[in-house]
A and B are shown apart, each in its own frame.
Chain A
Amino acid sequence: MWHRGRRGAAVVLLALTASMGLLAQACASDKSPSASGGSGASSGGTPAPQTITVVTHDSFAVSDNVLQAFEDQTGITVKQVKGGDAGAVVNQAILTKDHPQGDVLYGIDNTLLTKGLDAGLFEPYSSPAMSAVDPQYDLDSQQHRVTPVDESDVCLNYDKTKFGGAGQPAAPQTLEDLTKPEFKDAVVVENPATSSPGLAFLVATVEHFGDSHYLDYWRQLKANGLKVDDGWDQAYNNDFTVGSSGTGTRSVVLSYATSPPADVVFANPPKDDTSVGVVSDSCFKQIEFVGVLKGTSHADAAHRFIDFMLSKQFQEDMPLQMYVYPVRPDAALPDVFTKFAVKPPNPIELDPQSIGANRERWIDDWTSAVLG
Chain B
Amino acid sequence: MVALAAVPVGFVGFFFVWPVARIVVRGFHPDGQWDLSAIGDVLGNASTRHVIWFTVWQAAASTLLTLALALPGAYVFARFAFRGKNALRAAVTVPFVLPTIVVASAFLGIIGERGIFGGRVDLDGSVWAILLAHLFFNYAVVVRTVGGLWSHLDPAFEDAARTLGASRWKAMREVTWPLLRPAVVSAAAIVYLFSFTSFGVVLLLGGQDHSTLEVGIKRATLDRLDLRTASVLAIVQMVAVISLLLLSSVATRRRAVQQRLLAVADVAHRPRGLERWFLAANLLLMAVLLGGPMAVLVERSLHTSSGYGFDFYRALVETPRVAARFVPPLDAVRNSLEFATVATMIALVVGGIAAFVVAGDVRRRSRPRAAFDLLLMLPLGTSAVTVGFGFLIALDRPVDLRASWIIVPIAHALIAIPFVVRILVPVLRSIDDRLREAATMLGASPGHVWREIDLPIVRRALLVAAGFAFAISLGEFGATLFIARPDRPTMPVAIFRYLSQAGAANFGAAMAMSTILMVITATAIFAIERFRTPGLGEF
What is the interface of chain A, defined by CB distance below 8 A to chain B? 1, 3-9, 11-12, 14-16, 18-19, 22-23, 25-27, 29-30, 53, 55, 58-64, 67, 79-84, 87-89, 91-92, 94-96, 99, 101-102, 191, 193-194, 228, 230-234, 236-238, 243-249, 255, 259, 262-263, 265-269, 276, 320-323, 360, 371
A11-B7, A63-B323 given; 17 more Cβ-contact pairs under 8 Å: A7-B446, A8-B1, A8-B3, A9-B3, A15-B350, A18-B349, A53-B403, A58-B497, A59-B325, A80-B486, A91-B221, A92-B389, A102-B403, A232-B500, A245-B303, A255-B502, A266-B501
Contact of A233 among B7, B101, B114 (CB under 8 A): B101
Most buried by A among B321, B403, B502: B502
Chain A residues whose CB sits within 8 angstroms of the CB of B222 once the complex forms: 84, 87-88, 91
Specify the main secondary structure of chain B where it touches its partner.
Answer: helix
Chain B residues whose CB sits within 8 angstroms of the CB of A249 once the complex forms: 113-114
* A132 vs chain B, min Cβ distance (A): 24
Most buried by B among A266, A267, A276: A266
Known: A96-B393, A233-B499. A23 touches B485 (CB 8 A): no
Interface contact B224-A101, CB-CB below 8 Å: no
Interface contact A7-B447, CB-CB below 8 Å: yes
B396 an interface residue at 8 Å Cβ cutoff?
A: yes
- How long is the Cα–Cα vector from A191 to B219 in the complex, in angstroms? 11
B280 an interface residue at 8 Å Cβ cutoff?
A: no
Interface contact A99-B403, CB-CB below 8 Å: no
- How long is the Cα–Cα vector from A246 to B485 in the complex, in angstroms? 35
- How long is the Cα–Cα vector from A233 to B495 in the complex, in angstroms? 11
What is the interface of chain B, defined by CB distance below 8 A to chain A? 1, 3-4, 6-7, 11, 101, 104-105, 108-109, 112-114, 203-204, 208-209, 219, 221-225, 303-306, 311-312, 321-325, 342, 345-346, 349-350, 353, 389, 392-393, 396, 399-406, 446-447, 450, 481-482, 484-487, 496-497, 499-508, 510
Chain B residues whose CB sits within 8 angstroms of the CB of A276 once the complex forms: 502
- How long is the Cα–Cα vector from A282 to B335 in the complex, in angstroms? 41
A-B contact pairs, 28 of them (CB 8 A): A6-B446, A12-B353, A18-B345, A18-B349, A30-B400, A55-B484, A59-B500, A61-B325, A79-B486, A81-B403, A81-B487, A87-B222, A88-B223, A92-B389, A95-B225, A95-B392, A102-B403, A233-B500, A234-B104, A243-B502, A247-B109, A247-B114, A266-B502, A266-B503, A268-B305, A268-B505, A269-B306, A276-B502
- How long is the Cα–Cα vector from A59 to B406 in the complex, in angstroms? 23
Known: A84-B222, A268-B311. A322 touches B507 (CB 8 A): no
Write the chain A residue with the least CB distance to B304. A268
Contact of A30 among B203, B311, B404 (CB under 8 A): B404
Contact of A92 among B113, B401, B405, B484 (CB under 8 A): B484
Interface contact A62-B324, CB-CB below 8 Å: yes
Write the chain B residue with the least CB distance to A60. B325
Write the chain B residue with the least CB distance to A1. B1
Chain B residues whose CB sits within 8 angstroms of the CB of A82 once the complex forms: 484-485, 487
Interface contact B219-A22, CB-CB below 8 Å: no
Write the chain A residue with the least CB distance to B122. A249
